[in-house]
Structure 1
Amino acid sequence: MTLDKANELHIMLVAGETSGDALGADLMVALREISGRSLRISGVGGPRMEREGLASIFPMSDIAVMGPREIVPRLPLILHRIWQTVRHAVEHKPDILVVIDSPEFTHMVAKRVARRAPSIPIVDYVLPSVWAWRQGRARAMAKYIRRVLALLPFEPAFLKQAGVDCVYVGHPAIHRMPDEGSGARFRAARGIAPDEPVLLVLPGSRVNEVKHLIGIFGEVVSKLTEEMPSLKVIVPTVPHVRRLVEESVRRWSVPAEIIENDEDRRAAFDAGTAALAASGTVALELGLARVPMVIAYRAEALVGWFALSVLKVPSVVLINLILDRPSVREYLQSRCTPEYLLGGLRPLMSDTLERRRALADLEEVRVRMGVDGEPPSRRAARAVLDLLERPASPA
């Protein structure tokens, strides 16, 4: 199809899993709101992008797999889908291609499109964690990625060293912050007084995380309750591990309420005094909700040793990386014990100097992430459209 470039802008989006589908859908909405031009959007996406009008080249579920056990049996289909996506780009020549997260799939597409149709600028929305694991990958990206849309405020400076253009647009966790007053309503609905301590316990969203941490967390809760009899314990979880969480929490010596609903989860964050959480994106969500926290990580000895040995940053907690200082206490592997965790958590449960410092640090995180600014999806849309207005670099 020949496009009338004066009237229509063709943007190709490629997402490979649920998180990318959500980002892609929000980006589609924002592009239409601010482009000022007729848009044609093609590519690969899931249900949310399809609801925004994308006719996906093939079902995103074909490529939304994780880990060798899922990938290997479907490798022929995945390779076919990679080439199908590349052919679509080469044949239809979009004005710009945006690959979204899922680097194992999307970067395979981007590299091949860059070789076969070098005139198509390629944007990477969500930087792979090259700063944490494979720093050489950033330099390799410069050969086929024109611009990166970063979720974290420290990423542009890191990529600048590798010669990659990067724009900070904001993390989707900004969209998941609690509504004002939701914490007070959460407490009132459960008969929890405004001055009673509430501990949020988040043992992870993966089965192995929960298995390694929830017993240790239960011991911490038990010891803390002995010191604080009025303590209320809330355990936010996700559907696919809820049964395991329920079975484990039932064996705790103190009662705890398990919640799963997203609205309840956000309200609980607003109500929480402090949190004990598995390492992961949840630390950023807690930080944006101004919940002081202690972070834990434990895996099988060999897996844990390997993960920590290849880590290229001083912390696994995004809050610490954003602030560039050790604000949140983290207890990894051999230090992930009830005694250590209790020692880190105890001063966060009342009005101590350590708690006040933690709250001040979390306020700084909110400022650095631009919480009160333009929504991330609109920043991302502006960064995409801005690139189209720039002259192409010489080949």
Structure 2
Amino acid sequence: MNTRPLTVMLVAAEASGDDRGAGLARALKRKLGEGRVRLVGIGGSRMAAEGVESPFDIAELSIFGLTEGVMAYRKVVRRADEAAALAARERPDVAVLIDSWGFTLRVAQRLRRQAPKLPLVKYVAPQVWASRPGRAKTAAGAFDLLLTIHAFDAPLFEREGLRTVFVGDSTLAIDFSGADPARLRASIGAGRSDPILLVLPGSRPSEIERILPVFEDAVSILKAERPELQVVIPAAPTVADTVKTQVAGWRHRAHVVEGEAAKRDAMKAATVALACSGTVTTELALAGCPMVVAYRLAPLTYAILKLLIRTKYVTLFNIAAQNFVAPEMIQADCNPPALAREVALRLDDPALRAGQVERQSEALMKMGRGGPDPNDAAADAVIALVAP
């Protein structure tokens, strides 16, 4: 009888991937039993808590943008080589490469060369529905199985011959039942009626550098008109130290909180959120928080992406609704007066907030809210792939 545990390599390179990897790790342990699965790979603090010991800090790989990617190329190649070396040492039975297309593709190529029979799973598809459809063919040549979080992804990859399983978005399974708005208010000294603005500047170093100063100036405008406004900033683990350092120098006080529990308390307590585009917008919608979404890219990256992008929305629930349920302030529109204006509209109008929350919830249902647990579905697909 073979008693060797199943060795699963999980690779994530940014905060959202770390979260998905941790959820998958928990589901694998629950289904197979603690002693029947061994987890190795690359990830952040959440995956580390599930037993995945990463050989390096993934914060340096949290890259978005063409120019940023070019500048970080050598670092990405070096870390991909390290991932391949880790696989050579640990000899996994399957490798699951999560999101972060540029990095995980390079890891997959190295693993394929050194271990041709190793099953390779891509978890979260590149967004070929939005831009660069040729990536579907590239994915089909690099991976054995795709786990997709969007139902509409499957045909785009299956036509290229890549086996695809829709597992759903694990973000939609986040449970806010334990969140306590009163606990957050007490921790920052806010009164029961004080408005709270939640500021979420992103989880990548480049986002903090480019977007947080703009958010600071927008907050200054709002605080000048509303001295009672409480500002709370949940800091992603990948950039927490940088965020705390920058916010310490703000003209107006902001409360930086860390950890999942504090973030969920803040999302439930917030009156309005000013959020960098990304996974966090879905979390905010789940918490019932109205928001203004913003993003800035390097000018050259933005100019190139404008030629490539095939959708006018960047926020997932806006895409699902095919409408600007939440306003998207992108590039030139991501400026302090415009951001302050959109946030102020929502701070001052309870009916506008309530209507936006209702439309956000309707869009979440279109995205699959209330379906089976995506972590379980992903674990089942991985286990089935390697089952004898």
Return the offset for 1:35: 4.5
Structure 2 residue 355 is matched with structure 1 residue 357: yes
Structure 1 residues 144 and 190: alpha-carbon distance in aligned structure 2, compared to 1, 3 A threshold: closer
> Match of 2:234, as an amino acid?
P
- Alignment of 1:274 onto 2:272: yes
Q: SS where residue 302 of structure 1 aligns?
A: helix
Letter in 1 for 2:379: A
Distance of 2:76 and 2:333 partners within structure 1: 39
Counterpart position of 1:295: 293
Q: 2:11 aligns with which of 15, 19, 36?
A: 15
Match of 2:282 among 271, 280, 284: 284
CA pair 136-62 structure 1, distance change in 2 beyond 3 A: same
Alignment of 1:44 onto 2:45: no
User: What residue identity is the alignment partner of 1:357?
Assistant: G
Amino acid at match of 1:246: V
Distance in 2, matches of 1:155 and 1:345, equals 33
Mapped contact 1:24–1:45 kept (Cα < 8 A):
no
Distance 1:195 1:335, change over 3 A: same
1:149 alignment counterpart: 147
Distance of 2:257 and 2:213 partners within structure 1: 18
Local SS of the residue matching 1:61: coil
2:241 corresponds in structure 1 to: 240
1:1-395 correspondence runs (5 A): 4=2, 10-17=6-13, 19=15, 20=17, 23-35=20-32, 39=36, 41=38, 44-45=41-42, 60-61=55-56, 65-66=60-61, 72=74, 75=77, 78-79=80-81, 82=84, 85=87, 94=93, 96-111=94-109, 121-156=119-154, 158-160=156-158, 162-174=160-172, 178-225=176-223, 228-238=226-236, 239-249=240-250, 251-252=251-252, 255-388=253-386
TM-score, scaled relative to structure 2: 0.77
Where 1:291 maps in the other structure, the secondary structure is coil
Partner of residue 393, structure 1: none
- What secondary structure, in the 3-state scheme, does the structure 2 residue paired with 1:287 have? helix
Describe the SS at the equivalent of 2:141: coil
Q: Shift of the alpha carbon at 1:112?
A: 5.8
What's the TM-score once normalised by structure 1's chain length?
A: 0.76
Q: Please list every run of 5 or more consecutive structure 2 residues that lacks an aligned counterpart in the other structure.
A: 62-68
2:215 partner letter: F
Q: Deviations over 1:208-236 (max 9, x none)?
A: 43444344434433443455454322233
SS at 1:148 equivalent: strand
Distance (Å, rounded) in 2 between the aligned partners of 1:63 and 1:243: 19
Aligned equivalents of 1:285 and 1:184: distance in 2? 19
Ranges in structure 1 where 5+ consecutive residues have no aligned partner: 391-395
Alpha-carbon contact 1:99-1:122 (below 8 Å) kept? yes
Aligned-partner Cα distance in 2 for 1:42–1:215? 39
Matched position secondary structure for 1:339? helix
Residue 378 of structure 1: how far off its partner (Å): 1.4
* Cα offset, 1:103, TM superposition: 4.0
- Partner of 2:97, secondary structure, is strand
Post-superposition shift, 1:314?
A: 1.8
Residues of 2 paired with 1:270 and 1:140: CA distance? 41
Question: Structure 1 residues 35, 234: closer, same or farther in 2, change over 3 A?
Answer: closer
**Could you tell me how far 1:381 is from its partner in structure 2?**
0.8
Which is worse superposed, 369-378 or 135-144? 369-378
8 A contact 2:99–2:122 mirrored in 1? yes
Out of 176-185 and 334-343, give the one that drifted further.
176-185
Q: How many residues align?
A: 376
Higher RCO (CA 8 Å, separation ≥ 6 residues): 2
Q: Which residue of 1 aligns with 2:66?
A: none
Percent of aligned pairs with the same amino acid:
31
Conserved in 1, the CA contact under 8 Å of 2:9 and 2:87?
no
| Alpha carbons of structure 1 residues 256 and 180: separation in structure 2 relative to 1, 3 Å | same
Q: Considering only CA atoms, is the larger Rg found in Structure 1 or Structure 2?
A: 1
**Which deviates more from structure 2 when the two are superposed, residues 280-289 or residues 79-88?**
79-88
Q: 1:297 to 1:233 in 2, by over 3 A?
A: same
Give the CA RMSD over aligned residues. 3.9
Match of 2:84, as an amino acid?
I
Superimposed CA distance per residue, residues 291-318 of structure 1 (whole angstroms, 9 cap, x where no aligned partner): 1111122344334323444333322222
Q: Is residue 11–residue 98 contact of structure 1 (8 Å, CA) maintained in 2?
A: no
Q: Is the 8 A contact 2:317 2:364 kept in 1?
A: no
1:33 maps to amino acid: R
Shift of the 182–386 alpha-carbon distance from structure 1 to 2, 3 Å rule, reads: same
